[in-house]
Amino acid sequence: MEASNGTESTPTWLDKAFLERALRSRDEEDVEVTSYQVTRATADGDNYSSLILRVKVNYVRNGVSEMKSIILKAEQMIGKLSEATEKANIFPRERTVLSKIVPKIRNLINEATSHTVQSFAAECLYSHFGSPGNVLVLEDLKEAGFKMAERTEGLDKKHCLLVLNTLAKYHAGSVVLHKLDPKLFDEFCVNPFSDEESVELMEPMFGKGIKYLAQEMENWPEFDPTFSEKLHKISVFSAKYIIDCRKKQDGCFNVFRHGDLWLNNMMFKYSEADQVQEVRFVDLPFGDISDAALDLQYFLHTSPSIELMSQHLFLLEEYHRTLGETFSLLGYKHLHPSLKQLNQQVDKLGLYAVIMSCTVLALVLYDRTEEATDLEKVWENKKAIHYSTKYPKALQTLLPNI
């Protein structure tokens, strides 16, 4: 057997035997791997909390030669960032989301319509938990024609509308599924980051991250000194505020959230005319039952192009329209919140949006020609976030709202 390992990050457990287990759809199947090639599926600075590898495998199944490309998402047990991922139990949570919740949401909608609703996420083909490490084996969306959008440009109107229409279907479907099968969501009713230990764990990214931005902003002549003064004040309580926001609020429009909805966590498919047609969500371990406006504010303040960032109203209206259509389709029209309620929930989370703009957006807009931010080092307090030349311009659009 020939194995070509194209990355020094390849874990020792990734071998012929592991791949054969992953490729068997039934225990009795005869699968023999003949060769495989491993490459990194992400670039430096993409800042995923896991090791993401692409493996192209040649194998023989029941006497027939086949080739398949798969994605391996493996736990990286190093440093403070690994403490956060371990505390969040992200691998078992994401396996449940991809293997149980996402397919059931899709099936609910498909059963109610004559049109086939595309899947919301990649299929989980195999999972392993425990020694020597946690790993998910996922469908390679690239093989199906999906690709990531250009991160530093942000998403244009068509991309944003597609994302929000898809999110609305996902949210509405999750609400109905929770009504029908609440036990399915038991492990997601409480966000794992909801205690005092979590505040300390999140402090480097949010508290110290915003403090550093405030210090940098003092040297940016385009900003009035009041902006940095406000950010210094926000930095003191931002980590606790983020954690408190993510707790379920009675009286809100609560859904099963994506939990980390920014453009690095989605892939798009295009027509031959280069028109965007489909979107798939990736990296789904952080969902919980809580305020839908968290997903909306997170997305709207990290992922649209700078030109669109101040034009949220029509995007929210489109989300609300699709939400209503989906609830009506499923026979639960009475669960549809009014546009006024939705806007109130979004407005109430204005500070949450500011914090996302001051932290996550900096990771989105870093330029590959400049020094990349290392998220692991940020969590270790060893290295500050690096800001691209585009970032101050984006903040000029967003921060007047604080």
- Residues 332 and 91: their CA atoms lie apart, in Å, by 32
For residue 79, the model assigns a pLDDT of 57
Checking if the pLDDT of 365 tops 80, the result is yes
Alpha-helical runs (H) found in 60-206? 79-88, 90-96, 102-111, 157-180, 196-202
For residue 194, name the pLDDT band (cuts at 50, 70, 90): low
- The 10s digit of each residue's pLDDT in 70-112 is 999 988 755 555 666 666 678 888 999 999 999 999 999 999 9
Checking if the pLDDT of 2 tops 90, the result is no
Residue 84: how many CA atoms within 13 Å on its side-chain side? Answer: 22
What is the pTM (predicted TM-score) of this model? 0.91
For residue 82, the model assigns a pLDDT of 61
For residue 381, the model assigns a pLDDT of 55
For residue 99, the model assigns a pLDDT of 93
Mean pLDDT, the chain, whole residue set = 86
Averaged pLDDT, 179-196: 82
- The 10s digit of each residue's pLDDT in 246-259 is 888 888 999 999 99
Output Rg (C-alpha) for the chain, integer angstroms: 21
DSSP string, 66-101: EEEEEEEEE----HHHHHHHHHHTHHHHHHHIIIII
- The 10s digit of each residue's pLDDT in 122-137 is 999 999 888 877 899 9
- The 10s digit of each residue's pLDDT in 277-325 is 999 998 888 888 999 999 999 999 999 998 888 788 899 999 999 999 9
* Residue closest to 352 by CA, chosen among 390, 391, 296, 313: 296
Q: Where along the chain do its domains lie?
A: 2-74, 79-123+149-401
- The 10s digit of each residue's pLDDT in 43-57 is 665 556 678 899 999
In contact, 351 and 357? CB cutoff 8 Å: no
Highest average pLDDT, of 221-230, 299-308, 334-343, comes from 334-343
- Residues 399 and 358: their CA atoms lie apart, in Å, by 9
